């Protein structure tokens, strides 16, 4: 039996895992990655200043105890002993004050010394009247113990959560987060998205010491060891089908024919590379069916810690960023040569002007707001500043989202499609990309 030649367009987490499994099954697999490195949104950069590289994700990452697919993959790659689990402090900025939201109750509280899930931690959130805290906690518990999103079909998160939690809790806790993440589209977001945020998450977080780059480097090593080929800086410009199979042509004009192809790029990118091949009704139905927001992270390096939190939701209006994540309040600064590392995170429209600004210009823009949070902040004392943007980072999960997703089997023989949008009803994340990669390998 002849070996099957399989191509995977996209070297992110999904493509790497699908490629590994097909190579292990005996396919001749080539991964085409448009960028200079593998990993996609889980890609990393060298934050070290001297000596050996010290890798850190361009966009903040951690996993949850419920993320069983990535936990299994970490163990399979022999890295489970390097996983760090903990409950770093999670906080919310409201009305100029920082409140703990991770279920660690203050001395004197009847819950002192007890860890609760975030929903029950709202019982300690002073900006809400006590009965509103109880109501919000009940809403969170309802989502946590509802096993399926299907009962929320057709409902929006804003309508459902306001009804369940009440106006005050919704406007002070959830509305700033929905608006901060989805901007003017917040009222369209499906309740299934909010269900996933509560149902799938745990208070305890995990991180792979040395960064998740170690995981994907090992996946890539085993992939190539099984005969796979990874081509970086290889953007696929054209996809054509014929009697001999599926021919891919990269931007430099190189062409190669395969028995089958899995495209993991966004659906619009697939429609462009296969222009003229796909039926008109398919193109009309799925062109622009799923909108995306861009992600942006400014990564700052300090000699001292910025704050006492790991994660800070910025719920006050007027701030030009959504969240602060101080990575080295989870992992020790000693892992990074003594640097304290802070992510300043945003979700933005794909044409937002901030995405084209330099890192130093963005720091200048953000500095007054960082000073409001920490009056000791001094931009002159920032030791390093890095800016990263990804235009297709967060699908806009509308109430009719499931109907907008194209099937994995496309109208083209031997051509399959799977991308971040297909992890629905879960939100984007490494775990669900790994799960989808495994599923697509089985489908192939």
Consecutive 10-residue averages of pLDDT for the chain (444 residues): 88 98 98 96 90 92 96 98 95 92 48 43 81 92 93 95 96 93 95 92 93 98 98 97 96 97 97 96 96 97 95 95 97 96 97 96 98 96 96 94 95 97 91 97 96
Q: What is the pLDDT of residue 310?
A: 96
Evaluate whether 18 touches 262 at the Cβ level (below 8 Å).
Answer: yes
Nearest to 127 by CA among 101, 102, 95: 95
Nearest to 307 by CA among 88, 125, 124: 88
Residue 142 lies in a domain: yes
Read off the CATH number of the domain in which 299 is found.
3.90.660.20
Same domain, 70 and 149: no
pTM: 0.93
Same domain, 171 and 183: yes
Same domain, 180 and 308: no
Residue 91 lies in a domain: no
Same domain, 266 and 414: yes
Residue 282 lies in a domain: yes
- Which of the listed residues 142, 175, 199 is the one where a domain comes to its end? 199
Q: Is 337 left (phi over 0), alpha (psi -120 to 50) or beta?
A: left
Q: What is the pLDDT of residue 96?
A: 93
Residue 23 lies in a domain: yes
Q: What is the pLDDT of residue 119?
A: 54
Work out how many domains the chain is built from and give that number: 3
Maximum CA extent, the chain: 75
Instruction: Tell me which residue range forms the domain holding 414.
Output: 5-53+212-290+405-443
Same domain, 192 and 339: no
Both structure tokens of 222: 């085993």
Torsion of CA 60, 64, 68, 69, to 10 degrees: -10
Residue 58 lies in a domain: no
Same domain, 125 and 173: yes
In three-state form (DSSP H/G/I as H, E/B as E, the rest C), the secondary structure along 176-198 is HHHHHHHHHHHHHEEHHHHHHHH
Spatial separation of the C-alpha atoms in residues 77 and 99, rounded to whole Å: 39
Where helices occur in 274-382 by DSSP H, the ranges are: 280-286, 359-373
Same domain, 167 and 300: no
Which runs of E-coded beta strand occur in 67-163?
83-86, 90-94, 97-100
Same domain, 411 and 362: no
Both structure tokens of 363: 């720091």
Same domain, 174 and 32: no
- Which of the listed residues 177, 199, 221 is the one where a domain comes to its end? 199
Q: What is the pLDDT of residue 131?
A: 93
Where helices occur in 109-202 by DSSP H, the ranges are: 118-121, 130-144, 157-165, 167-169, 175-182, 191-199
Nearest to 236 by CA among 275, 287, 270: 270
Residue 96 lies in a domain: no
Same domain, 73 and 13: no
Same domain, 257 and 303: no
Read off the CATH number of the domain in which 9 is found.
3.50.50.60
Same domain, 113 and 180: yes
Residue 97 lies in a domain: no
Residue 92 lies in a domain: no
């Amino acid at each position: 039996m002849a070996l099957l030649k399989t191509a995977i367009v996209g070297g992110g987490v999904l493509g790497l895992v699908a490629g590994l499994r097909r190579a292990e099954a005996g396919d001749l697999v080539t991964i085409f990655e448009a960028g200079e490195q593998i990993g996609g949104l889980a890609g990393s950069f060298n934050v070290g200043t001297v000596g050996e590289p010290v890798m850190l994700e361009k966009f903040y990452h951690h996993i949850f105890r419920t993320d069983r697919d990535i936990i299994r993959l970490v163990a399979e790659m022999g890295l489970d002993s390097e996983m760090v689990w903990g409950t770093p402090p999670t906080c919310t900025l409201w009305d100029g004050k920082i409140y703990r939201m991770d279920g660690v109750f203050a001395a004197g509280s009847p819950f002192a010394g007890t860890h609760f899930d975030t929903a029950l931690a709202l019982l300690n959130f002073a900006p809400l009247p006590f009965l509103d805290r109880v109501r919000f906690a009940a809403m969170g518990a309802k989502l946590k113990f509802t096993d399926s999103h299907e009962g929320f079909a057709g409902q929006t998160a804003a309508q459902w959560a306001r009804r369940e939690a009440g106006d005050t809790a919704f406007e002070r806790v959830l509305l700033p987060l929905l608006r901060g993440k989805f901007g003017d589209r917040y009222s369209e977001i499906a309740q299934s998205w909010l269900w996933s945020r509560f149902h799938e998450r745990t208070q305890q977080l995990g991180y792979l010491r040395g960064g998740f780059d170690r995981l994907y480097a090992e996946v890539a090593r085993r992939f190539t060891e099984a005969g796979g080929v990874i081509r970086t800086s290889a953007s696929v410009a054209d996809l054509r089908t014929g009697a001999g199979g599926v021919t891919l042509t990269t931007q430099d004009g190189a062409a190669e024919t395969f028995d089958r192809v899995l495209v993991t790029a966004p659906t619009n990118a697939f429609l462009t590379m296969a222009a003229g091949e796909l039926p008109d009704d398919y193109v009309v139905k799925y062109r622009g069916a799923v909108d995306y927001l861009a992600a942006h992270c400014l990564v700052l390096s300090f000699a001292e810690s910025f704050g006492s939190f790991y994660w800070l939701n910025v719920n006050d209006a007027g701030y030009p960023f959504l969240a602060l994540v101080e990575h080295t309040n989870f992992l020790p600064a000693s892992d990074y040569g003594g640097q304290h590392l802070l992510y300043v995170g945003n979700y933005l429209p794909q044409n937002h002007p901030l995405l084209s600004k330099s890192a130093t210009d963005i720091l200048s823009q953000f500095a007054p707001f960082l000073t409001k949070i920490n009056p000791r902040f001094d931009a002159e004392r920032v030791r390093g500043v890095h800016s990263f943007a990804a235009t297709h980072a967060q699908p806009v999960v509308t109430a009719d989202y499931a109907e907008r997703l194209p099937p994995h089997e496309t109208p083209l023989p031997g051509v399959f499609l799977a991308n971040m949008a297909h992890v629905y009803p879960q939100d984007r994340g490494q775990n669900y990309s790994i799960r989808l990669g495994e599923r697509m390998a089985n489908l192939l």
